[in-house]
Amino acid sequence: MKNRYIMMFAFLLLAYGLSAQTFTPVDIWSGASSGYPYGLTSCNNKAYFEARSDTSVGYELWVSDGTPAGTMLVKDIWPGPGNSYPSGFTAVGSKVFFTAADSLHGRELWVTDGTTAGTSMVLDIWPGSTGSTPVSLTAYNGKLYFNANDSVHGAELWVSDGTAGGTSLVKDISPGTASSSPLGYVPLLGSYGYTFNIVNGKMYFGANDGTHGTELWVSDGTTVGTSMVADIWSGPGSSTPYFITPFNGSMIFSANDSVHGVETWISDGTTAGTSLLKDINPGISGSSPANNTAYIPYNGKLYFGATQAATGYELWSTDGTTAGTGLVKDIWSGPGSGYPGYLYSIFVFNNKLFFAATADSVNGLQLWTSDGTTAGTSLFKILSSYSPYNSFPTDMIIYNNQMIFTASLDTINQFELWTSDGTAAGTHVISPAVAPNPDPLILGGGNGIPYCVANGKLIMNAGFTAIGNELWIYATPTSITETSGDHSIRAYPNPFGSALSLSGLLSSETYTVQVYDMSGREFFSTEIEHPSDNVSLTMPDLSTGVYLMRVSGQSSTETFRLVKN
């Protein structure tokens, strides 16, 4: 059955023309099962990820150049049906570091150049089958820094250049077998990770030396250059600094000093220069700043979510001063929370902030925008077509000068892939015309990342069709050309307002209708099965301008110019 869908999809590609069909599936696990590609990470125009192709091979290391032919298993690290579960993919130069387990060494540090011969374990840091379990893999000064346990020093700070001889302990922060567990916090798509934070050419992270609790530490990659910055929660208590963000030569982060709760702090990297920036929510409860947003730089300030008793969890900003740290807007008026940037869904695009937020109990979490002012913060577009449910817009990235994100559409088609040019009219769902499945986009793969951009293409894990959850490749067409000569299919009226009609369609065929702007960006797509002679289409969200409509059937494809009033 699965092969029938692949053959049908290939036929559609030929019938519609390659430039019109922007989605291509890669059937990693042939048959009814799913390959489940996770952890998509780009390096040197290729995407690295974990996947499984059949029962004879477990979840192993795969690579793709954005084509079906260029998608392949790199190495069966745990030979046979065992799973090495590669994860933590981190690009350093032309190589990718990751962690994986084989049948002999447990989970250790590995490196790959994308070839079988160039994929190997770097070092058996914890000798034997236990594994050192490396985490917080961070690219810094051309090397990889990470947290690992060698059974002698506990979980501590390590460094590697990709060779066994160049892999060593940087510093035993908590002497002996106790672990300092150095960890950073960085925002990911829809989640967060534990990568160390790079500020002013140094690494910052939280670590516990066994005396002061988990506090703010700094390292330049050397033993002598690794030290505690400040004991924010004095004594053995932990301030647990997180989301350490560079700003105007200093760093801003969240921490708990035991008196003010979790609040926003600032540091220049010295003990004397580390202090509470603002007690947003006075008392030991704290405001929990950046908990769901991180700190996002935009127009000379950092933007984040924070809680006050009077306003709930809302959008705040800071210019690095106490006086310049304030509420941007109480989106859900009163003590209710607007939850701006929920699930780290806050992003800068077209010189504006875009984020998820809710202003009431009717529409739920929808897409909002802000220019940093109260008046300039407003609902951008209601994405979901049903109430009172949330659309949960998240996972924002830029691809081909468009903002790509995921959001729920309705009770049938849940998390879909969306695109936006920064206007409400230019914000819409994109998906292949043969995608019938509800909730087709598989979110939060390994590393919390559902897709990546490699070789000019958007590569994702999705379940768009009945072929299962597989690797899909999306590429926008570079150009769309109007068909010359007479047209058997006609669109009228032209110019049109919010609706137009198509005539000349054959009732025996199925048509795909796509509308592009003159640069080839898709703004509308639908499928018409066995139409009557006249079919009405409604496109109220299109902005005024000139567009090209492509109507593709089994026997013909026509493209013609439209003018939207």
Statement to judge: residues 516 and 555 lie in one domain: yes
Statement to judge: residues 447 and 461 lie in one domain: yes
CB 327 within 8 A of CB 308: yes
Q: What share of the chain is helix, strand, coil (3-state, %, to 5)?
A: 5, 45, 50
Three-state secondary structure of 111-172? EECCCCCCCEEEECCCCCCCECCCEEEEEECCEEEEEEECCCCCEEEEEECCCCCCEEEEEC
- CATH number of the domain bearing residue 540: 2.60.40.3080
Statement to judge: residues 470 and 542 lie in one domain: no
Statement to judge: residues 8 and 76 lie in one domain: yes
Statement: residue 441 has pLDDT above 90: no
Q: Which two tokens stand for residue 294?
A: 């991180």
pLDDT band, residue 475 (cuts 50/70/90): confident
Q: Which two tokens stand for residue 523?
A: 């703004």
**Is 530 contained in some domain?**
yes
Q: What type of residue is 389?
A: Y
**Is 212 contained in some domain?**
no
Residue 251 bridge partners (DSSP) = 246, 267
**Is 482 contained in some domain?**
yes
**Is 557 contained in some domain?**
yes
Q: Across residues 369-391, what is the average pLDDT?
A: 89
Statement to judge: residues 467 and 534 lie in one domain: no
Q: Which two tokens stand for residue 180?
A: 């300092």
Q: Which of 476, 507, 539 is the last residue of a domain?
A: 476
- Residue entry with tokens 């922060």: 173
Statement to judge: residues 466 and 534 lie in one domain: no
Q: Which two tokens stand for residue 412?
A: 């049938």
**Is 202 contained in some domain?**
no
**Is 491 contained in some domain?**
yes
pLDDT band, residue 564 (cuts 50/70/90): confident
Task: Report the distance separating Cα 294 and Cα 195, nearest Å.
Answer: 14
What pLDDT, on the 0 to 100 scale, is given for residue 523?
A: 77
Q: Across residues 377-383, what is the average pLDDT?
A: 95
Statement: residue 382 has pLDDT above 70: yes
Statement to judge: residues 565 and 485 lie in one domain: yes
Looking at the chain, the number of H-run helices and the number of E-run strands are 1, 45
CA nearest to 183, candidates 151, 145, 129, 132:
145
Domain hosting 468: range is 1-80+431-476
Average pLDDT of the chain to the nearest whole number:
89
CB 339 within 8 A of CB 356: yes
pLDDT band, residue 372 (cuts 50/70/90): very high
CB 36 within 8 A of CB 26: no
What pLDDT, on the 0 to 100 scale, is given for residue 517?
A: 75
What pLDDT, on the 0 to 100 scale, is given for residue 519?
A: 65
**Is 459 contained in some domain?**
yes
Statement to judge: residues 494 and 545 lie in one domain: yes
Task: Report the distance separating Cα 196 and Cα 174, nearest Å.
Answer: 18
Statement to judge: residues 27 and 42 lie in one domain: yes
**Is 209 contained in some domain?**
no
What pLDDT, on the 0 to 100 scale, is given for residue 426?
A: 85
Q: What is the pLDDT of residues 500-536, one digit of tens each?
A: 989 888 888 888 888 887 666 777 878 888 787 778 8
Bigger pLDDT: 14 or 559?
559
Statement: residue 16 has pLDDT above 70: no
pLDDT band, residue 485 (cuts 50/70/90): low
Task: Report the distance separating Cα 448 and Cα 442, nearest Å.
Answer: 11
Q: Which of 420, 453, 476 is the last residue of a domain?
A: 476
Statement to judge: residues 484 and 557 lie in one domain: yes
Statement to judge: residues 35 and 64 lie in one domain: yes
How many domains in the chain? 2
Statement to judge: residues 488 and 555 lie in one domain: yes
Q: Which of 476, 509, 535 is the last residue of a domain?
A: 476
